[in-house]
Structures are given as C-alpha cells and as structure tokens.
A and B are shown apart, each in its own frame.
Chain A
Amino acid sequence: MRYYVGEEARLRRRVEDAAMSVFDRWAYEEITTPSVDYYALFEHGMGTIEAQRAFRFTDQDGRLLTLRPDVTSSVARAAATLLSDRPRPLRLCYAAPVFKQQSQSAAEWRRENTQLGCELIGAGDASADLEMLLVAAEILAQLGLQDSCCITINHVEIFNGLAEEFLPDTNAREVVRGLIDRRAIPELNHYSSDAARCKTFADLVHLKGKREVIHSAQDSISNARSQRALGAVADLWEALEMRGVSELFEIDLGDVSSLDYYTGLSFKIFVDGAGSRVGGGGRYDRLISNFGAAEPAIGFVLNLDGLTDVLNSEKSQPQISRIHTDLKQ
C-alpha cells in the first residue's frame, strides 16, 4: 500500500503521460477495462495458476468475482467480442492498476501495480514483433533510460523444440525449464545420466549476448522447430541493428519463464536501479481463441510504479527534468 504525494505524484503522472504519448504516436487507442470482473475470465486468460494470485470475492448470486490481476485477459475478450467487427490489426493501450496477492518477502511485493501496456491484435508477422520492441524502446528513451536499460529477447519455440527432441515427459520438461530459468548450471549438469543431453540445456544458459549468440546457437541446436525460431530471432536482431537500437537489446536463450502463455517472441525489460524487472511481454497467439475466433496477438507491459521509483531515486534527478522538458515541447 503506497501513497504518492506532490512532486512524486507529478513525476508518476509524467511517466504515465510519456508512455501514453508514445502509444498515441504509434496509433494505439486507449481502452479502459473493468476493475472488477468474473474470476473465470482470468482463469481463461492468464491460466489457472497465475489467476490464483488474484483477490477473490463472491457476487450476490455466489459467482466468483475478482479485482483484475491483469489487463490483457480483458482486452483479449473485448477483441473477440465487442471489437470483433473492427478491421485488423487492432492497436490498444492502457494505463491501469492490477491487483495480485504477493508473499511479503518477495522483491515484487506490492499488491497493487499500475501497468502501462499495449496489445497488437490480428498481426502475426515479424513486423508486429519488431513494432512491439520499438515501442518499448521508445518509451524507455523518452524517460531518459536508454543508457541504463536492457531488454532481453528470446523465442519460446527454441526451448520447446529442444524439449520435444529430448524431454518427452512433461514433468521432466517442467523441471528442466525451472532449472534453466534459475540458471542452475550445477543441477542441469546432473539432471540426467545422458551427458550430451545435459550439456544441450546447460548451453542454453550460456547463450546470452548480442549477434554472436545466434551463430553459437546454430552450432548447438539441430532440430527444425528450434532452428526456425532461431531464424526468427536472427531476422529480428538484424532489423534492430538496422534501426540502430540494438544497444538496448540482448538475446537471452536462457529466459524460459512463462512458456505456457507465450507462443513466440518473449521479452523482459530491466532498468538500472530496479532490483527486479520493470516490464515484459511477448506473443500469445493462443489467448484470443479462448474468447472467440483465433487470431495472433502480441503485447507488453511496463510497471509504472517500478519506473517511478527508479526515476525518483536521487541519482536520476537530471532525467526527471529531461522528461519535463520533453513534454513541454
């Protein structure tokens, strides 16, 4: 539970305005979703496990309601129903608080966080992936954070291809995925008696960096499914280089969290001064079919409160004035 007063509140508002003005420039329309909705919506949208972190209560007729734990689920439902007749692609954005139960000791402990987010629905091609990354990079630049941030990118099909090849058992797959996510090299080296197989997954953790990662990965990954995904990452990286923004980005094939949700590109946003990530997103082509006709979609969120904390810390004071002048222009 957190108050923002005076200068802090003004800063927070400026950060929100900066993000919303970038969304606006890229032709994203604002959407406001209900704060209170049926729990079932989020079970369909986020998956049952993630949805369990929502605060739940009952309606008069006994149906389960919740304070929204994310916005994407509601936007997906709107796209499939309310906005189903609109021409595609749909570009939607929002600045809205979300509510989740948190364990007290975790670094991301706040129950309430305001998400600055956007969704690009009905576009499944590589240019949509690129657009998402460019929008995120532009917001960070607008906030003066371009030299102190890092956006890590990965493609979930790289791990899925390897899992299909080496880990037919879904339990083993989840164990290995968890170990890679923790970068637990010692455990990865011993999870199976097949040393070559262990090495394949331990290698994923080391495949982290710029363009050279793609070449190293091509040597160690042979299945067609992973190769295709790797090709998509290579194309995306080239596009980022051509636009001169690859400094902000890093390829990290060891980032394998939330694989059930994402279906293609996934990315996470880190900023110096914040101990945990301040945002992330990816492609979720299976989500909208939960609410209507299937269509591709990609989106990301930034955590407004996390960004405000970073900019509010003393060493970032010059950046605050920079945002201020940007907005006056």
Chain B
Amino acid sequence: MITIAIAKGRMQDEALALLARADIRFNGHSAISRCLISTDQTGEYRAIFVKPADVPVYVEHGIADCGIVGHDVLLESEADVLWPLDLGIARCRLVVAGMSPGQIKSKGMLRVATKYPQLTSEYFGSRGTPVEIIRLSGSVELAPSLGLCDVIVDLVETGRTLQENGLSVIDVITESTGRFVVNRASYQLKAHNIARLLNALEQVASGVSA
C-alpha cells in the first residue's frame, strides 16, 4: 500500500480531484469531513490529511511514501524529500505586500510579519535589506494596519484579501503550485508502484496546465 499525505485546506479539494482523474478515489471524503485517514476503493492507496507544514515531515520520515503540498511549504521546511513532479494545482504567489510600495526602501530596519520566516530571511538577505522577522500563524494581512509590522510576506491567490486590508503587492518572491513529493527510501523500495503513480499523475497534471 502507498500512503499519500495530502495538505489540508486550499490544496485538498484540487488534489483529490486530480487523484480522482487518475482513477484514485477516496470515497466519501470532502473538505468538510473530519476523517483524517481514508483508503481508496482498490485498497492500493491510503490518504492521510495533515496540516500543510506537516506534509514534508510525514514524507521525510517515511510515514507517508509520498505527499501533495505547496512548493512554498517545501521551500520553507527544507525537508529532505524528492520533488519529481509539479501538479500545477492551487497556483498562487508568495509576495511582499504593504500599505505603500515605497516602504521597502525608506526604512533603516524593516519589520516583516510572515508565516514563512525562512523564505523571508532568504529574500531580504539576498537583497541586503536589514529586517526583523515576526512569525505569525494566520491572518497575517491584519498586521500592518494594526502597526505590528511595516510589510508582510504571504501567499496570494486572487489578491482580494490584501485589497480588503488596504495592502498592495510590492514584489513577487516566487510562484507556488502543488508539488508531488516522495520519500527517499520509498522511491527505491517501492520503485515500481511509485513510478506508476508518478506516471498517472503526470498525465492528468499536464492536462491541467494545458
């Protein structure tokens, strides 16, 4: 049996739809279900539903053979897993956003609130901008207007939440899509099954981006 860790939240529905197109169906499962584990009708695959940041953890430890998670989460986690396939789902951008575009330059020290401290420090570090990073775990868009920080680094899909909080995009750090990741040991020990799943997903995923 192959265990697939799937990131809960915005990734989950698109991931399940993609798997279904590859004929892997986890019955009775939806975003509102509280069930965290489900087996497909053939008994060949098992899905576990965990928080996005935990997907690389489960996969790196080999508890899950593979996983579906955003590229942003992978870069932030630095987990040692394989990234053989871009699924092209849940496309979004990781951006720097603030009340006014000039803010990055005018400060001697920028205060940045984010859920992505690692990527944020890499981004500002490579530009030589001194920053103080404030780690938050949600509703990051609120932070500038309340005076916690000057700018935020966050994921943006449509940009509506930013607008509603009086923020605009200052710079795009990277694009992010759902990635299929594989545990290093499973890649070798279950080579045949993983390769089959990879092929099936590659075919339906190329249909998505085309």
Contact = CB atoms under 8 A, between A and B. Distances in A.
Interface stretch (B14-22, B54-62, B97-105): B54-62
Interface in A269-296: 270-272, 274-277
Contacts of A209: 191
B62 A274 contact: yes
A107 B60 contact: yes
Contact of A107 (B62, B82, B182, B191): B62
Interface in A178-237: 182-187, 205, 208-209
B83 A182 contact: yes
**Interface size band for A:** 20 to 34
A185 B84 contact: yes
Chain B, interface SS category: mixed
B183 to A, nearest CB: 6
B188 interface: yes
B62 A182 contact: no
A183 B60 contact: no
A183 B62 contact: no
Interface residues of B, number: 22
A16 interface: no
Contacts of B57: 105
B86 A276 contact: no
Contacts of A184: 82-84
Interface string A102-141: 0001110000000000000000000000000000000000
A106 B83 contact: no
B174 to A, nearest CB: 12
A152 interface: yes
Nearest to B63: A275
Contacts of A105: 57, 60, 77, 79
B124 interface: no
Contacts of A152: 188
Contacts of A187: 83
A276 B185 contact: yes
Given A184-B84, A186-B85, A106 B60 contact: yes
Nearest to B56: A105
Given A252-B188, A274-B62, A275-B63, 4 more contacts: A106-B79, A275-B62, A276-B61, A276-B185
Interface of B: 57, 60-63, 77, 79-86, 182-185, 187-189, 191
